[in-house]
């Protein structure tokens, strides 16, 4: 695992046990590799936080459509 994935995992509050538990076994073909899983989850969280920030900004500055 690269330093970047480790940083992402720490930022999301994942501990080593959760990473080890998510290593796919040979019969778990549906499971993504841990590196990919971390990156996908990190991107999803960034998108969610960006959407929340945008909604908060729009709620604070309502524009009139008149």
Q: What is the DSSP letter of 10?
A: H
Domain membership flag for residue 64: no
Total number of domains in the chain:
1
**Residue 60, pLDDT score:** 81
Q: Domain limits at 50?
A: 3-21+31-59
Domain membership flag for residue 66: no
**Residue 57, pLDDT score:** 84
Domain membership flag for residue 37: yes
The answer to whether 53 touches 46, Cβ cutoff 8 Å, is no
The answer to whether 18 touches 26, Cβ cutoff 8 Å, is no
Supply the pTM of this predicted model: 0.74
Domain membership flag for residue 42: yes
Domain membership flag for residue 8: yes
The answer to whether 35 touches 5, Cβ cutoff 8 Å, is yes
Domain membership flag for residue 17: yes
Per-residue pLDDT of the chain in tens (66 residues, 90 and over written 9): 789 999 999 999 999 999 999 999 999 999 999 999 999 999 999 999 999 988 888 888 776 544
Domain membership flag for residue 65: no
């Amino acid at each position: 695992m690269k330093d970047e994935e480790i940083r992402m995992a720490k930022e999301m509050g994942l501990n080593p046990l959760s990473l080890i538990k998510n290593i796919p076994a040979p019969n778990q073909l549906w499971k993504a590799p841990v590196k990919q899983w971390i990156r996908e989850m990190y991107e999803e969280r960034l998108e969610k936080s960006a959407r929340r920030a945008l909604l908060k900004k729009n709620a604070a500055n309502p524009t009139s459509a008149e």
